Amino acid sequence: MLRQVARRLMSNMPESTVYGGPKPQSPSRRVTLTHLRQKHRRGEPITVVTAYDYPSAVHIDSAGIDVCLVGDSAAMVVHGHDTTLPISIDQMLVHCRAVARGASRPLLVGDLPFGSYESSSSQAVDMAVRFLKEGGMDAIKLEGGAPSRITAAKAIVEAGIAVMGHVGLTPQAISVLGGFRPQGKTVTSAVKVVETALALQEAGCFSVVLECVPAPVAAAATSALQIPTIGIGAGPFCSGQVLVYHDLLGMLQHPHHAKVTPKFCKQFAHVGDAINKALSEYKKEVENRSFPGAAHTPYRISANDVDGFLNELQKMGLNEAATAAAAAAENVETAGRPSEGTC
């Protein structure tokens, strides 16, 4: 009986642990690749959210999301560009560090931006190392399945860094794709999606993102692979799903963002409407001087110190300033008194 209880309590302990770690997984512990593999083996969907800063990372952490992806889509969502291409490695590292400070539980994956890994495998490894050492990431993601990308992925894995692949619509390749166009819609294109995913698995990737491909293609890739697939606009048959934080919250209501918010994104809230309402109310209350009121004017100066302050202002020849300070002190004092008839 005792043996059965011990076995049950240790059922999620990774095999062949060294030096006492990693620890058993629980909702409050850091997600590891072992944890993701266990979920995949059990057929449990993996949750991924793309985020770019400390506040969003804190929310993702609190929600118990498995993976937080710091995406190069920050170029569009945060910096207002029309594509992901302009963002630099240094900008990405700023976003990575902010997310790493806010998320203590999810596995953190950083997106290698366009131009940071294409020249050579050596360049790819160097950039990946920076994401871990300077950005606080646990793994990196790279796009595409050209032979050079497969070689780069393999070199990064061999350097001891976990890699997430990305096939289908690869936004960094819009120059050759002719824009943000879905992939896998013809026999040749569909086969290429599956073949590329298999090649990335062979290179050592721990997971592959499938973006904007038909559901049957995603289902085939998921079945063919032994590693998890993470779908985005790829239907319900992937091992997990990823959406951008701002998109799923319905945060961005500006016409520019209406243009870039993808058709496949479900808005689980309409936070943008709440933000717009709050900003309008703030503007109104500032303009009619109802904010800040007494409740939001918390810092006090004693009556004796007010008198001393007024005297000093008068000595300085600042009589109007003294009058303004006296009127403010009287206003705050009056506002802070209980109204007649209250206890």
CATH code of 113's domain: 3.20.20.60
Do 200 and 266 have their domain in common?
Answer: yes
Q: Which pTM does this prediction carry?
A: 0.84
Q: What is the pLDDT of residue 180?
A: 56
- The total number of residues shown for the chain amounts to 343
CA-based nearest residue to 56, from 271, 310, 335, 202 = 271
Query: pLDDT band at 253, cuts 50/70/90?
Result: low
Same domain, 320 and 186: no
List the single range of 21-30, 197-206, 264-273 with lowest mean pLDDT: 21-30
Cα–Cα distance, 204 to 220 (Å, whole number): 20
Give a yes or no: residue 170 inside a domain.
yes
Q: Is residue 12 one of the residues assigned to a domain? A: no
Per-residue pLDDT, 320: 96
- The whole-number pLDDT of residue 263 equals 73
| Prior bond of 45 cis (ω within 30°) | no
**Same domain for 60 and 188:** yes
Q: Is residue 259 in a domain? A: yes
Q: Do 201 and 172 have their domain in common?
A: yes
295-332 confidence digits (pLDDT tens)? 898 889 999 999 999 999 999 999 999 999 999 998 88
**Whether residue 242 is found in the same domain as residue 319:** no
Letter string b/e over residues 148-172, b meaning 16 or more CB atoms within 10 A of that residue's CB: ebbebbbbbbebebbbbbbbbbbbb
* Residue 176 pLDDT grade (very low, low, confident, very high; cuts 50, 70, 90): low
Measured at the alpha carbon of residue 83, what is the angle toward residues 79 and 87, in degrees to the nearest 5? 50
Residues of the chain with pLDDT > 70: what percent? 83
Does 185 lie in the same domain as 132? yes
> What's the total number of domains in the chain?
2
Known catalytic residue: 320?
no
Q: What is the mean pLDDT of residues 236-258?
A: 83
Q: 11 or 63: whose pLDDT is higher? A: 63
Distance from C-alpha of 139 to C-alpha of 137, rounded to nearest angstrom: 6
Residues 169, 310, single domain; the answer is no
| Residue 209, pLDDT score | 96
Are 164 and 309 found together in one domain? no
CA distance linking residue 114 with residue 149, whole number of Å:
12
The residues pairing with 207 across neighbouring beta strands, listed in sequence order, are 164
Mean residue pLDDT across the chain = 86
Residue 11: the pLDDT is 36
Say whether both 243 and 297 belong to one domain. Answer: no
Q: Are residues 145 and 244 in the same domain?
A: yes
What band does 136 get if pLDDT is binned at 50, 70 and 90?
Answer: very high
Between 247 and 9, name the one with better pLDDT. 247
Confidence band, pLDDT 50/70/90 cuts, at residue 258 = low
In a domain, residue 49? The reply is: yes
Asked whether residue 5 is assigned to any structural domain, the reply reads no
Contact indicator for 285, 291 with CB cutoff of 8 Å: yes
Residue 208 sits in the same domain as residue 92? yes
CB 214 within 8 A of CB 206: no
Is 50 exceeded by the pLDDT of residue 238?
yes
Q: Classify residue 19: in a domain, yes or no.
A: no
* Domain limits for position 65: 33-272
The answer to whether residues 71 and 106 belong to one domain is yes
Q: Is residue 13 in some structural domain?
A: no
Q: Is residue 24 part of a domain?
A: no
Q: Which of 211, 285, 287, 312 is catalytic?
A: 211
Instruction: Provide the pLDDT for residue 2.
Output: 41
